[in-house]
Structure formats: structure tokens, C-alpha cells
Amino acid sequence: MYAHPSACRAFCISLPVLLEHSYRQYGCKHQLVPVILNRLLSSGVVGLADVHTDDVYHDPARDKPLRLAGDQNGLPLDDTLQGQNGGDWLYGMRGDDTLVGGLGDDRLYGGSNADFLRSQTGDDQLWGGNGDDRLNSGDNDDGLYGGIGSDTLNGNIGTDTLVGGKDADVFDFDAAGDSGLGKARDVIRHFQDGEGDKIDLSGVDANVDLSGNQAFTFIDDGTFNAAGQLRFAADLHVLYGNTDADATPEFSIQLSGVTSLNAAAVFL
């Protein structure tokens, strides 16, 4: 793209643009916007550290900041995009993409095909889009949205919101500390047992007093009387887990709008 020096008119990019070379200048006269791209084509990983902008001029009332996106022109490429400092927006578009957030509050969009999205630090938002995606939260309070396809959503540490979307999704928890109690618990929205949605607790040790990884026993809405039990409080829409000898739960998961749950919906 090139704006004639005598024109001095603003231009708008409404669609994603692929910048293919190492250096580009956009603008006119005293409104020069250099964009320097390093290692964009030679490396399989594209991070925001690889894209440098200097002397950027824009009208805050009309312009939006430059966004980094992989496969912006819709080519069937398998992209790897890495966020850095600040609030990054990463778009995978088509292809089986890997998107990894950085240190800020990031937004990751997988697009179509089977994508892998992983948050790191910050309160991030992850959208899988179409395809069978895997979304992994980081250590903060993240939002994971699977979209269309059979997705796997892993909240990890932090108070996370997990939304599977359409098709059979798996909500994966690997440790009791991945979802706390009260306001510290994770929230699952759009859990549809009829669509084949599952809660995977097979990675959580059900009895911390025994060696190895023990399986849970589902006791419906009963009272805890032993380690390794799960109960569902229908009135609160909460699944509770007990991993020791007392009757106090060690973790809980909110299932918004769900009034009944059976053992078949949980990988024990």
C-alpha cells in the first residue's frame, strides 16, 4: 500500500492484511508510519517482539492500533503466534494454529481448524472458533470459549469462565486447586449433557491420603462421609469434590443453569 505524498488523506484497512517483506512505510508527508518486520518469514514462530513499529501517527478518534495476526489472508497455513508484553490480540485464522499469550491481558482467536490456545499471565480471553480446539488457561482469571466443534477446555489455576459452545466438549481439571470454593471456583456455562459434554476429573487425585491417582465416586446429592467423593448440589448448580477424610469439600465447580448431573457426565 502507498499513499501519495500530496494526498495526505487517512486510509482504513477493514480486512486483515499480510505484510510479506522486511520493511514497509505507510502514510504521507509528515505522517510516516514505518513497520519493520524481523524474521517474519524465516521463523516458524511469530511474536510481537518480532514486529516493531516506530514513529506511529494515528488519529485516536478514528484509527485503531495495528494488530498482529497469523495467516491474515486466509491461506491454509499452520501458524504459531506468541504474545509478549502488553495486551496482545492474536488471530490464527485458517489452519491448525498454536497461539500463546504473553504477559498482559491478551485475546486469542483460533479461527477455523483444530487450534491450540494457551494463556500465560494476565486475565486472558481465548476463543477457539470452528474446529476441535484445545484451550488452556494460565494462572489468572481467564475466559475460555470453545465455539463450534468438540473442544477441550482446561481452566488451570485462577477463577476461570469456561464456555464449551456447540458439540461435545470436555472441561478438563488436572488438580483440586484448579477450581476453588465460593467466589474462587470456576464457572462452566453452556454445559449440555445431551450434546455429550463431559467434566474430566481423571487427572485429580481423589484421595490425598493414598499413593497414586485415585478415582472418584459420585454420590449424587448425598453427604460426604469419605475421601474420594463427588456430590452435586442441584439448588446451587455446584459440583463439590472431597479428597480427604473430613466432610469438607476441597474444590467445587459451578455449572450455570444445570439442575441435574449424573456420573456418566464425569470422567472420574
Q: Render pLDDT for 225-235 as a digit per residue (tens, 0 to 9).
A: 999 999 999 99
Per-residue model confidence (pLDDT) at position 76: 58
Average pLDDT, the chain: 80
Q: Is the pLDDT of residue 50 over 60?
A: no
Mean pLDDT over residues 109-124, rounded?
94
C-alpha cell belonging to residue 256: 450455570
Q: Is the pLDDT of residue 5 over 70?
A: no
What is this structure's pTM?
Answer: 0.75
Per-residue model confidence (pLDDT) at position 80: 85
Per-residue model confidence (pLDDT) at position 117: 97
Mean pLDDT over residues 14-30, rounded?
42
Are the C-beta atoms of 234 and 259 separated by less than 8 Å? yes
Please, which pLDDT band fits residue 92 given cuts at 50, 70 and 90? confident
Comparing 37-41, 180-184, 255-259, 260-264, the range with the smallest average pLDDT is 37-41
Per-residue model confidence (pLDDT) at position 126: 97
C-alpha cell belonging to residue 171: 472441561
Point out which residues pair with 47 in neighbouring strands: 82
pLDDT, one tens digit per residue, over 205-226 is: 999 999 999 999 999 999 999 9
Phi, psi at residue 5, to the nearest 5°? -55, -30
Per-residue model confidence (pLDDT) at position 40: 41
Are the C-beta atoms of 91 and 79 separated by less than 8 Å? no
C-alpha cell belonging to residue 177: 486447586
Mean pLDDT over residues 87-101, rounded?
90
Give the chain's end-to-end CA distance (angstroms, integer): 57
